[in-house]
Structure 1
Amino acid sequence: MGRPVLEAGAPSGSKTAALNCISLADQDIKKSVSLLKQACLDSGFFYVIDHGISQEFMDEVFAQSKKFFDLPMDEKMKLLHNEKYRGYTPIFDETLDPDNQVKGDYKEGYYIGVEVPEDDPQAEKPFCGPNLWPSGDLLPGWRETMEQYQREALRVSKAVARIIALALDLDADFFDKREMLGEPIATLRLLYYEGNISTPAKGIYGAGAHSDYGLLTLLATDDVAGLQICKDKDAQPQIWEFVAPLRGAFIVNLGDMLERWSNCIFRSTLHRVMLNGQDRYSVAYFVEPNPECLVECLPSCHSEANPPKFPPVTCGAYMVKRYKETHADLSTYKEHETSKQTDGFVCNSP
């Protein structure tokens, strides 16, 4: 199944992106590589189907996510994210487009990373450490569901990364090395957009315009459209297209780290979330290499006529910088820990 998928649930009358659809069950690897390469050169977004995660299990992940966001605010705030970005992020915690947003993103989230015991030396690395988990009494089976999803999503991510490697004229197992996806920073993030209406003229967005930071992102969504992409960020005016939800598929996009690695051959595309008044849930899985991985231009992506455009950088240092630029400082919450209103927790915009 390699044809573009069109109009699969985007708002009526809106412009919808035509994205390639890649089946992980297709035995014709050359076709998959060709479809992916075309998608990465065009928009950096594509659908992945036949990934081996059952719809029944995906439905359970979404159901468990909703149970968490339905908790009273004081229960959620007990799990406020720590300095390793594990745990709950309230509305306005993240500001992805400060030039155009008045307060911040109109979304709640929950970060779950690779579980590393606190006494493990690896826990000293950026984005490594123990997770924050709701108690089993409060949300029975919640942790087990999310840990299983992490395992499944990493398997799918590695399969996609092998096709990306081939599309960049690398060995298929290039990204499987220990310092890359052998011991990755792999972050599951549950997201809830309460039923607001995005108003760009007033600086109100579900999620502000941004590109993802890492290697690649797997996004599962409910059937409420909201994700938009802008293929040419330098165009004036910018042209935004909806990415239609497709049941049973992941929406996959490339991150800035892969753009650096590929010397801008593959694109990390600007995207945002526009809300239409309906509640919207999504499950994002962000995949980055090991914190110690040195990200530098790939041998197949530079030449004398096309030298490397970016200096080498370690993954950990790069990710810490990007997170600090977009998230509220934790001191914000300490200063306002008693500030509540009937509609929930109130915090200053970062």
Structure 2
Amino acid sequence: MAETLKLAIIDLSSSDSISTAKSIRQACIECGFFYLVNHGVEEELLLRVFDESQKFFSLPLEEKMKLATKHHRGYTPMYAENLDYSSSSRGDSKESFYIGSLEAGRSYLNRWPSEEILPSWRPTMESYHKKLLLGAKSGFICLDNIVNNVYKVLLLKDGKYGQTQSVGKKLISLIAQALDLDADFFEKVGALDDPMPFLRLLHYPGDLEFCGEETYGASAHSDYGMVTLLATNGVPGLQACLMLTNQDPQL
């Protein structure tokens, strides 16, 4: 049975950026995951995002397929993705919806449900997207070509800290300090000049058995990009394998 994994808790509202950066560094060295609190995303907004997400995934498949993925935006149905073909031939037991950049010049690529069906869906997702990923001049970008580590952050639903920067931009600044770089390093080198932020909604129905073959909500994988901000509705399931061995993953 998988063990319970105790993750570090990072307070994004702390005025001691040096200490916070050190805590982030330690968490990323040890397991690559940590909880983020006082992040400034209101619980009311998070609840609306989950509510609107549930409304979309509850639509008939025919309606959802009208927004099938194009240009990495839109709806992906059950079993269409497989993160690890060696563990399952059927595909991952999940459906998802991708929302890309809201910046001028790219926002037209996004796909949105009809306002007649889901009138509050688009404004809710745009508000959440901006709160997490967009800053005053730039946004949140995948920096895999600069930093080879991938960090995953679990966003807790208790944000009380008001901030003008986005969660992603503030976190990137702290990650720079965790790497013994200047806080604005990624901005100075132009890494945030042309951001590629993605918001991804996921639905795991829990169907893990099919004709005797075990399937997974999301097969074993490493995320691409630099940072994953993950908000959940309290249902457990994320597993982390701390060593590249056959040992049991930790929850």
Normalised by the shorter chain, which TM-score bucket?
0.7 to 0.9
Q: What does residue 140 of structure 2 align with?
A: none
How many Å separate the matches in 1 of 2:180 and 2:234? 36
How many Å separate the matches in 1 of 2:196 and 2:247? 32
Q: How does 1:148-187 map to 2 (within 5 A)?
A: 148-154=127-133, 155-177=166-188, 179-187=190-198
Distance 1:73 1:94, change over 3 A: same
Q: What does residue 99 of structure 1 align with?
A: 86
Kindly, what percent of the aligned residue pairs are identical?
45
Distance 1:86 1:168, change over 3 A: same
Matched, 1:238 2:247: yes
How many Å separate the matches in 2 of 1:178 and 1:81? 32
The amino acid that maps onto 1:105 is D
Distance 1:47 1:151, change over 3 A: same
Distance 1:91 1:167, change over 3 A: same
Cα distance, 1:179 vs structure 2: 3.8
* Unaligned runs of at least 5 residues, structure 1: 1-12, 243-350
Matched, 1:139 2:150: no
Q: Helix, strand or coil: the match of 1:76?
A: helix
Q: Helix, strand or coil: the match of 1:180?
A: coil
Whether the 8 Å contact between 1:198 and 1:206 is mirrored in structure 2 is no
Whether the 8 Å contact between 2:93 and 2:206 is mirrored in structure 1 is no
How many Å separate the matches in 2 of 1:175 and 1:194? 38
Cα distance, 1:115 vs structure 2: 3.1
How many Å separate the matches in 2 of 1:226 and 1:116? 33
How many Å separate the matches in 2 of 1:81 and 1:46? 31
The amino acid that maps onto 2:180 is D
Whether the 8 Å contact between 1:232 and 1:239 is mirrored in structure 2 is no
More strand by share: 1
How many Å separate the matches in 1 of 2:189 and 2:97? 27
Q: How does 1:181-220 map to 2 (within 5 A)?
A: 181-197=192-208, 202-220=213-231
TM-score, normalised to structure 2's length? 0.82
When Rg is computed on C-alpha atoms for both structures, the one with the higher figure is: 1
**1:89-128 CA distances to partner (integer Å, 9 max, x unpaired)?**
00111110111112111000000001356xx4xx5xxxx7
**1:281-305 CA distances to partner (integer Å, 9 max, x unpaired)?**
xxxxxxxxxxxxxxxxxxxxxxxxx
Distance 1:183 1:177, change over 3 A: farther
The amino acid that maps onto 2:114 is S
Runs of 4+, deviation exceeding 4 Å: none
Q: What does residue 108 of structure 1 align with?
A: 95
How many Å separate the matches in 2 of 1:226 and 1:106? 13
The amino acid that maps onto 2:73 is R
Q: How does 1:11-160 map to 2 (within 5 A)?
A: 14-82=2-70, 84-115=71-102, 120=105, 130-154=109-133, 155-160=166-171
How many Å separate the matches in 2 of 1:42 and 1:56? 32
Cα distance, 1:135 vs structure 2: 1.1
Distance 1:198 1:182, change over 3 A: farther
**1:52-84 CA distances to partner (integer Å, 9 max, x unpaired)?**
1111110000000000001111100000001x1
- How many equivalent pairs are there? 218
Cα distance, 1:34 vs structure 2: 1.3
